[in-house]
Structure 1
């Protein structure tokens, strides 16, 4: 039986749909029943019987830090897809990020070892890849992590989680790690690329000057399953279909949704004022941070990622970003128009 953590998230739900189509017996971990709506909505995009598919999954309520609950979830498990994570770039959320992403992953690794799981796939992030000394250099799996760099709290904990997976491989666990860029896919519109689509539809005044790597959610899922079915082990792979500027990405969304695109580029000076005011607002009111210093830096950075390793090892061809955005924008229109 296959165990999927984070089954109610964007990648997790698409992974479950893919595995169900392969008629695999699946157990999935969840924390909040309200998130089941995400799974059913995503299943409904691709199937006329989402409820039937949903009910084929053995759902187990468990926390990544509750060992008794996890122990029950691991009964008779042969493969694990660890998709669960806490995503935040708020510096004051570091302890929760560490508890979930690092300690939670350590628990998954330990139980995988003790239950003699055949293979584990961990979904990390390009945030856990190193930063090149020269901005224009392509980032690869071998780009070294720099602990002296002003890394975001999210990046630090995803990197720490990877160390737990590598520690597991030293103790006999076969594992693979994937590091996706910004994942494009429908169903969850309040964070990730979904929130950017939503913001573009509502109207944006400015666009950031940086760039990043993008990948379709089904490419992430397909690579994960192919790696798990292969003899490849103890390797990590950057999953990026294309590198694009944020301006090009936002303009493409605006064109697909037939809305106005932002005309002005936000300056470094304005972003600097923005994250400082956001920090002050948080200190005075206790409201959640919306813009951290590290986030401001990342949207200004022109990062470029190489996907050559996965293309070579799996002979994989990625879906184009334009095709991915076209499909995802169509689902967005179906949900909101």
Structure 2
């Protein structure tokens, strides 16, 4: 049986990733938002050579991101429009992360990680990804934009799926720009909420999109979740634990346990391994954790081991209509 076309496409998939990443970095979809442009016009708008842009557009057209009319006018398809900066849940920041040479190179170091168990990024560059982003603000900004955009794709689903009745306060731990907190406070008007993150990772106030009601119940607290978190009835940790080793996860959860109000809960929002319908997505994300921050994706049983070690009961799993679940953990009695 000839498997070359399928296997060959998988082997050379990096070429597709590179082409889409360049389209995102150039802002092609943003320039086409107002309507079709000729190749010459588009090249002038994005600052590219017309001939080589045409070669890139040929690939992106075959991939279905753009279309070219018989007259040569370039237009974005619905798929390509997801690379626009101004759409909710834009995938442009995700594509732009590959423009960072250190990130791109780390994936080429995957073999080292598989052989040794070491994090590829740190083994290659001599510094962990967090310190690298702190020293390279542009890479850090793209990463933060990506986290904001990806969170916006699941925030409403999380806010719908969990019943916050009986709770008074919630802290979005490692919450960045607070997209998830905004969704939760919007849907659950009785809650007070705070975004908690490192000083360089949080905004001065609520998002511009926040309603007056949300803004009045919103606060920002800087700090490190390895040291302390503000007291609350509920802690939200969306895709925080997957960045860290088991030992660091227990530290983070233990910090939350110390400040948790009586009867409160920790709500861990994550992909889980072996969840039906999301197996490949979670498995690839698990490799990404190995390559970049040094964490891992986990099964529910593996999360329960972390909860137990940090003084919690095994979790109740709350499903959502997104690709994540909510793991609800109460303090052990």
Q: TM-score range by the shorter chain?
A: 0.3 to 0.5
The alignment's TM-score, normalised by the length of structure 1, stands at 0.34
Normalised to the residue count of structure 2, the TM-score between the two structures is 0.35
Return the index of the structure with the highest Cα Rg.
2
Higher relative contact order (CA 8 A, sep 6+): 1
